[in-house]
Structure 1
Amino acid sequence: MKITFIGHASILVEMGSVTVLSDPWWRGPCFGAQWWNYPEPHLEALKDCRIDYIYISHGHHDHFHPGTLRTLSRDSKVIVARGTSLASPVRELGFEVVELGDEDVFEPGPEGVSIRVMGTYSDDTLMTITDGREVCLNLNDALHAAPEAVQAEFVARLKKLFPRIEYVFCGYGVASHFPNCYVIPGKDREATAANRQRYFNRQWAKLIVELEPAFGFPFAADVVFLEEELFWANEPTHNTERPTDAFKSLNPESPVTTIDIAPGFAIQNGNVLRESFRKPVNEASLRTTLQDKIARANRYGRVSEMAVKEVADLIQKNLEMCASYLHSYEGNYRFLIRFRNSQYGIWIEKQGRNVISVVIALDAARMPEYDVSYTTRLPYLKWSLTEPFGDEILFVGSGGIFEYKDQLKAGENLHRELAELLRRRDGPPRPRYGKSSKVVHNAKQAIKQLIGRRDQDLYSLATWTVFKDDQVR
């Protein structure tokens, strides 16, 4: 078995006459103009290679990238998990699709070669490949951000299926707007970004320890942010602690070899064929080498009042659909939605049980007093409001910036009220307290706190935000 790291979440596995390529993305950005491949993918390995199968792990744009798939031969068959929404759009691109269920074992060629695809959590999947001698696990985004119970279930299952594992490729972060897209007074944005990344580095290390492969490789995070509002995040995300550093510091006696790989790295039968190792991201170098892409990422079209009114009408429909949910929030609030390169915005205000939204003209010298503002590109928000899974452009990508006026509101995660209105809805949100009343819900939370059992909220600002002069947890 020969494995070459192409870039981001894409690896090429060659097993005699069978080749499998995973999650190809290298043609242009994804999530609009937000994420860009960096370092550059190693496409030389694909130059004279016949690709028999392409595995698409899940529907996020950096894994299912139609622009890249259109450049590949339709002689390749595409492997997806049965029951996901991927088969239809892949067929529309002209590919034959192989759908695999959790218990299916696909044997595509020479004796000993077999492939499995398993659905894990939140539409994510993982793939196992064996040539009869070695085993490769492609975990992509499937486990490092999954709940602990899901991780334990799949680690046990994988170890039962494969008592000896040679290679594990596992993701370790970035697929979220959170927490980098939040501006809070006094927040140390670099330390906050590093704090969140540190957690996922340790999740990566934990999975590698439990799976006990011969080799562990972090991947699926080779992206940079080129829009000016998030350019700062590249260095603290990539240059602080690395997953391999976390593993070695926590497990100094482990026999597992962990390597921080870069595109072009290749390994075969346990021997490194081509060395290519991760290097720190340098802001000055990015600005020089990616100058044209930076210009493209920061090019905004003019936004008219009519276009803003069209989006405001969509938000008004969500307000009406979410009325009962919004009324259950006991406080009042003022939200402002702003669009890049527009003099118009959308004002949303709650007073008691009355919630209104109106289009307003904006004056930079006299901005209205808001609790939370959200700044985005109008096409991004319109996409989120109208397309199935469209909100991924805002919340899996980094499509906008929430700005708080004070820390108290941030501690309450007030932005969650606004976020419910920024996505396409086919019905109201789930009740705020589930099937319980507020009193019962709060009592349960108090009991959990008393017995020391608090569920960690990975999307709570209080969990991750580091304020200036704070110590990183």
Structure 2
Amino acid sequence: MRLTSLGHAAVLLETGSERILFDPWLTQRLDRFWEHHPPLPADLVRQVLDDGVDYVVLSHHHFDHHHFPSLRQLADGADVDFDDSPRQSSAVTCIYPAGPVPPRLTASGLGHQAIAWTLRRLGFERLHPVTPGDTLTLGAASLRTFPSAVPFPEMSVLVQTADAAVMLCGDALLHESTAAAFRRDDAPRLDAVFVPAHSVSPPGVLTERRPLNDPDAVRARAAANFDRYVEAIPAALTVPSSFGWRVGGDGEHDYSWCNRTMFPLTPVQALRRLDDLGRDGLLWGPGQVIEIADGKAAPAEGPVAPAAYDFDRLYAEVSLDPATPVPPFDAAADRYGRQSRTCEDLLHELLDRLVATDYWYRALDDGAGRHVISLYEDHGAQNAFLLDPVTHRVTRLGEGPARAHLAGGESWTETAASTLEALLGADLLFGSSFGLWASDGVLLSAVFHHPSFYTRHVERVLQEASTP
């Protein structure tokens, strides 16, 4: 068995007869905010995937794992008539988690239902949804799935062949049924396990620009999550994984401070935890290869040499530093696009698009949901408005930031009018928009994770691909 890293959680697994691609994010930039770290070497994707793939396995629907621009690259490029038919499919079989879970429109990436729609729209015809816990046979390989402890379908995957067993956990949170499966007497013996070393950012750093609070507790929680995984799933080799990115900004904004305030556990730190726990581990980066033979997993020659990366230096750039200041949000500087519409016009459309979202239904039930939003305009004025989802009313409150106009009980948002216009026009992908507003509420999430915005972005990628 041979595994090649394509960065972050993307892995090509070759069994000798099957080529299985996991969680493909194949572009250097994910969006205007995130980028691969270490960077993807030039021509790596073509070099590794030039012979095609037989299967694509998507662990869940989040954009860094279900990246539709990368999936489009994998689809065969037959001519497209957007009025009559989707793209024609390749022979690739796509495997992804599904289940009796209702749509979560305010969750990142629309909801797990986006996977099936996106794959069909991009032209993949061989779709194989699975319920986490199912086992599939892929030629000479067995693929066993395990659930994640999250409120949407997500899975870890165990791939077994006659001579190797590897488990890729993606971003999954350890589920008790997974831990129980490896406590059984007949638990599979793993040659290698890829354990998530990613860390959820401390609350409020991006959304409210709050300075880091109690960094020791944040670090301890991240380390404990990693330790539980390692102790639950024994393997001959453990690879800290699903951490291959950083905030890179967009050329106009410097968000390098994010990289020192968001990641309490890096792969280098996770490797030290493995040493403390008496487990063998290693780090790998884009283009590096691990081969498994005769019960031993070890680095092998590949597009990038085994010792090519200085991981201590690379991950020092994204290590938590409590002394790093979190700059206050400034809508005059942290903004995108150009304003062509009045604030009232933009906010009335925002309320129109809020209708039938989770946020709107909750507001109807309890009469709450009132929200103070301030918009910074291109000509320099900043005004606050009260939004009432129940009465569908926009009321101007006066000049200044939203937080200066709170009467009690309202949530708040501060952003630029141009940013809001770009979001409403689907010129700016929601996942790319972190750092362009500050808020203590989810009103914008409720609107811009709606299916209508997600589908517009997919259609745009398809249209761009078909334009000479």
Please indicate the TM-score interval, normalised by the length of the shorter structure: 0.5 to 0.7
Cα distance, 1:90 vs structure 2: 0.5
Q: Which residue of 1 aligns with 2:39?
A: 40
Say whether the 8 Å CA contact 1:312–1:346 is kept in structure 2. Answer: no
- Give distance in 2, aligned partners of 1:139 and 1:99: 19
Superposed CA deviations along residues 120-156 of structure 1, whole A, max 9, x for unmatched, are 3322222221112221111111115xxxxxx222221
The number of residue pairs the alignment matches comes to 379
TM-score (norm 1): 0.66
Superposed CA deviations along residues 206-247 of structure 1, whole A, max 9, x for unmatched, are 201210112222222322223437430113445x65355356
- Give distance in 2, aligned partners of 1:207 and 1:127: 14
Say whether the 8 Å CA contact 1:87–1:99 is kept in structure 2. Answer: no
Whether 2:128 is the aligned partner of 1:99: answer yes
Identity percentage of aligned residues: 19
Q: Which residue of 2 aligns with 1:7?
A: 7
Say whether the 8 Å CA contact 1:380–1:393 is kept in structure 2. Answer: no
- Give distance in 1, aligned partners of 2:19 and 2:10: 13
Q: Which residue of 1 aligns with 2:386?
A: 348
Superposed CA deviations along residues 409-458 of structure 1, whole A, max 9, x for unmatched, are xxxxxx247568656689xxxxxxxxxxxxxxxxxxxxxxxxxxxxxxxx
- The within-5 A match list for 1:58-457 is 58-74=60-76, 75=90, 76-83=92-99, 84-85=112-113, 86-102=115-131, 104-110=134-140, 113-120=141-148, 121=150, 122-143=152-173, 151-158=175-182, 160=184, 162-173=187-198, 178-183=203-208, 187-189=210-212, 196=218, 198-227=220-249, 228=253, 230-238=255-263, 241-243=265-267, 245-246=269-270, 248-249=272-273, 252-254=276-278, 256-269=279-292, 270-273=297-300, 274-275=306-307, 276=309, 278=311, 279-282=314-317, 300-306=336-342, 309-315=345-351, 318=355, 321-325=361-365, 327=367, 335-338=372-375, 343=381, 347-348=385-386, 357-358=394-395, 368-370=404-406, 373-376=412-415, 393=430, 398=434, 400-402=436-438, 415-416=440-441
Counterpart secondary structure, 2:235: coil
Change in 2 beyond 3 A, CA 1:175/1:219: same
Cα distance, 1:250 vs structure 2: 7.9
Say whether the 8 Å CA contact 2:10–2:21 is kept in structure 1. Answer: yes
Q: Which residue of 1 aligns with 2:321?
A: none
Whether 2:66 is the aligned partner of 1:50: answer no
Say whether the 8 Å CA contact 2:199–2:222 is kept in structure 1. Answer: no
Say whether the 8 Å CA contact 2:274–2:280 is kept in structure 1. Answer: no
- Give distance in 1, aligned partners of 2:277 and 2:200: 31
- Counterpart residue identity of residue 123, structure 1: P
Cα distance, 1:67 vs structure 2: 1.0
TM-score (norm 2): 0.66
- Give distance in 2, aligned partners of 1:175 and 1:202: 13
- Give distance in 2, aligned partners of 1:80 and 1:379: 37
Say whether the 8 Å CA contact 1:167–1:214 is kept in structure 2. Answer: yes
- Counterpart residue identity of residue 94, structure 2: V
Name stretches of at least 5 consecutive residues in structure 2 with no aligned partner: 77-89, 100-111, 301-305, 319-332, 452-468
Superposed CA deviations along residues 301-350 of structure 1, whole A, max 9, x for unmatched, are 11233476234343365587444455469xxx872243685756552278
- Give distance in 2, aligned partners of 1:384 and 1:176: 23
- Give distance in 1, aligned partners of 2:59 and 2:422: 23
Segment drifting more, 309-318 vs 19-28? 309-318
- Give distance in 1, aligned partners of 2:120 and 2:202: 30
Change in 2 beyond 3 A, CA 1:142/1:249: closer
- Give distance in 2, aligned partners of 1:243 and 1:198: 15
- Give distance in 1, aligned partners of 2:429 and 2:179: 28
